[in-house]
A and B are shown apart, each in its own frame.
Chain A
């Protein structure tokens, strides 16, 4: 793929161990699903980066094609698409999210 938006997204996804594409910011999420995703990440206690898709139409549309996933938020761990907020919640409740972050050696939040 040589699509410039795809390449841009690819470099964002790989720029940190945990990257969340969301609507709004961690302090001011603009959507209930994004808010829930932030609450889960904070609870798991890992360091993460966020991208506010509302500030970038190119990324907002492009990320859906990138992952073949129609909704936002989207969570990436070590460059891999993990899922949206429902999957995050299921994994969190099953203890799988903590486990995955530990196995992947993701840094703890400061």
Chain B
């Protein structure tokens, strides 16, 4: 019940093409990750909308196979 960091990154980029994605494996167990997603297309969106875009890109895996993903979203500086 875990996902590889590269798979998470690939899914997010497929769903949000302009995203820059940084994944950190927090516990080194391939199960607890932090993701920072920066995208111009987030501009003007609320935090909830930004995170929803990432969850949509992950296509229902969030809360399922992906239990522990700490998520930060932002627009580029």
The B27-62 residues at the A interface (CB cut-off 8 A) are 47-48, 51-52, 55, 60, 62
Main secondary structure of the interface of A (DSSP, over half): mixed
Contact across chains for B52 and A32 when beta carbons are under 8 A apart: no
By the criterion CB–CB under 8 Å, are B62 and A71 in contact? yes
In addition to A69-B48, A87-B48, 16 A-B residue pairs with Cβ atoms within 8 Å of each other are A32-B68, A33-B70, A64-B63, A68-B52, A69-B52, A70-B62, A70-B63, A70-B64, A71-B62, A71-B63, A81-B48, A83-B48, A86-B51, A86-B70, A90-B47, A90-B72
On B, residues with C-beta under 8 Å from A are 47-48, 51-52, 55, 60, 62-64, 68, 70-72
